Amino acid sequence: MPPLTSFRRSCLALALSQALGSPAQAAEILVNSLSDTMVADEECTLREAIISANTDDNRFAPECVSGKELDSIYLQTPGIIVLESSLPEIETSVYISGLGINETIISGNQAHQIFSISGSSTNEPNVTIQRVTLQEGLAGRGAAVEATQATVTILNSLLTENYADSGGAASFFFSQATMEGTTVRANYASGGAGGIDAYGQGSSLVLRNSAVTQNFSERDGGGVRVKYQTLVLENSIIDRNQNGIDGSSRDGGGIYAVNADLQLIQSEISSNYSMQHGGGIYARDSNVEIENTKIQFNGADVDGGGIHARDSTMSVSNAQIFANSAAGYGGGAMLREAPQASIVNTSISSNYAGGGIALFDSSSLSMTNSTLSTNQGRAGLYAINSMANLEFCTITNNQVEGLRSGFSGEIRFADSIISGNARFAVKPEIAGYSIYESGIYSSGTNLLGNNSNSRGTAFTSFSPGPTDILATSDEGNMPLENLLSTTLDDNGCLIQAGRKGSQSCVFTHLLVENSPALRVANSANCPDSDQRGKARDQSQPFFIVAKAANNRVVTFDLGEDVCDIGAVEGINGLP
């Protein structure tokens, strides 16, 4: 993008002043020097420009024009500005624009903070910074940008190689912050929040079309840490961040959130690592909403490889939780004391070491139109002193049990497929807690199997319901391939997960021709669509004869409004 002309700059300044409700008075302060001085040398430096904007006087005239309320500072000379000391605090609303991240570089020289924005309850500056690289800053908080009681917008910029005690690159305290088209990369915090730290009731941090990547924190929040505020991710990625030094609090490799509202929309949380809980996301006392997002390749040394939600509510829809790992429980997700969680149209697959989902300590989960597949180490779903209700789910190809309940755990499921699990272990498909307290109950027509792929007993401490359909190895040795496609794959969809340019369908297993899962669902329960967003078939009468759990032959006269059980509708994905 070419430098702004004088006319375009004037129009932009006018538009900004109108948008902010300010009088249409503004100064264009043109920085034409790469030096960091305050001398009468006929050159306007960035340091002088900030003071002119703050004071609205002419002390640096004529090289820097006087500020006039809402000012615009344009850095016109390509190159690197190396700071000799921290820049003056910005105390007024101002617009700062460079020539681009490769042309306008401001360095803290590994010794100084770059931008500090200071407001109060009576003066909240509105500051926009765009098209610059901020690097090599050093500070207690926010080495590249620190803001207190301000509105801050950072556009099309790069914050890199900064070092702070907390908030390696940026720290926002009781501020409204937005980053768009911006990358926060390779920053370091000796305390918490390797990339961005945000704190304050009623405040917000919005990351739109942005990346937080390769940051490191010795404590909580390798990438982003938020407390008592809202975090919104839109079409953004949090990836390859790490946290943790032995002996310190070290949760949340990608995101660490406490008393916060998290909204993740069409984004990716990928390849982050935590020495304790929540490789991708750690949330405590928070509300978490995840839509059309990929959470993949994250790892935790304890619990919750992808997500660890504690004392939090959580809603997940149209998401992919894939190939995460935890040394303890919940390779995909760990819910602890989570009173209300829902998962819809989501695939939890190929997570390892900690299995798929683990529920502990009075957590409650509802899961609909979702797939639990190819998880390793522990059960697809494991509940201890917690409740789960599953409808129209496909649970298959997990290394050990498909479902397992522990002490005081309760799992209820209907219109679901639980078959082909425990392929490489002598384990059952479904394992209740004990003969005295099963904790696992069928609530309707399900397809239950212990197929030729498995070496264990079909069920322990669990009794199928009277309308459940069995396809077990000791009931005719029906192979899994006769029920569904054993390949977990992108099988087409109407709703995708991930950022623009890297979106894909959420993984599913398709039903095959003559599968006993076809058109046997409880008609009153049929959702409008399946996991892929495609319509459920509810149009024609249909009859089926099948063997029920009590070995009696049962004829289902389904009439109209019927659909298939499991997460996907139709033979080979075609209704």
In a domain, 155, yes or no: no
**Cα 383 to Cα 239: distance, rounded to the nearest angstrom:** 29
Q: Specify the number of domains making up the chain.
A: 1
In a domain, 454, yes or no: yes
In a domain, 403, yes or no: yes
In a domain, 43, yes or no: no
**Cα 519 to Cα 90: distance, rounded to the nearest angstrom:** 66
- Owning domain of residue 456: 321-575
Question: Which H or E run includes 53?
Answer: helix 46-55
Residues across the chain = 575
Burial class (CB in 10 A: 0-12, 13-18, 19+), 556: middle
In a domain, 521, yes or no: yes
Preceding peptide of 125 cis, ω within 30° = no
**Cα 141 to Cα 162: distance, rounded to the nearest angstrom:** 11
Q: How many CB atoms lie within 10 A of CB 509?
A: 30
In a domain, 459, yes or no: yes
Cα dihedral 311/359/276/312 (nearest 10): -20
Question: Which H or E run includes 15?
Answer: helix 6-19
Q: What is the DSSP letter of 560?
A: S
Burial class (CB in 10 A: 0-12, 13-18, 19+), 50: buried
Per DSSP (E only), the strands in 41-87 are 71-75, 79-82
pLDDT tens digits in sequence order for the chain, 575 residues long: 444 454 444 444 444 444 444 444 678 999 999 999 998 888 999 999 999 999 988 888 788 988 887 899 999 999 999 999 999 999 999 999 999 999 999 999 999 999 999 999 899 999 999 999 999 999 999 999 999 999 999 999 999 999 999 999 999 999 999 999 999 999 999 999 999 999 999 999 999 999 999 999 999 999 999 999 999 999 999 999 999 886 677 899 999 999 999 999 999 999 999 999 999 999 999 999 999 999 999 999 999 999 999 999 999 999 999 999 999 999 999 999 999 999 999 999 999 887 899 999 999 999 999 999 999 988 999 999 999 999 999 999 998 899 999 999 999 999 999 998 886 667 888 999 987 788 999 998 999 986 444 445 778 899 899 999 887 544 445 678 888 999 998 888 998 999 999 999 999 999 998 899 999 987 778 999 999 999 987 554 444 445 555 555 444 444 456 899 999 998 755 55
The angle at the Cα of 423, spanning 276 to 519, to the nearest 5 degrees, equals 105
**Cα 376 to Cα 355: distance, rounded to the nearest angstrom:** 5
**Cα 99 to Cα 77: distance, rounded to the nearest angstrom:** 8
Beta carbons of 356 and 398 less than 8 angstroms apart: yes
In a domain, 565, yes or no: yes
Give φ, ψ of 32 to 5 degrees.
-120, 25
Which residues, in sequence order, are CB contacts of 19 under 8 Å at separation 6+? none
**Cα 127 to Cα 48: distance, rounded to the nearest angstrom:** 17
In a domain, 424, yes or no: yes
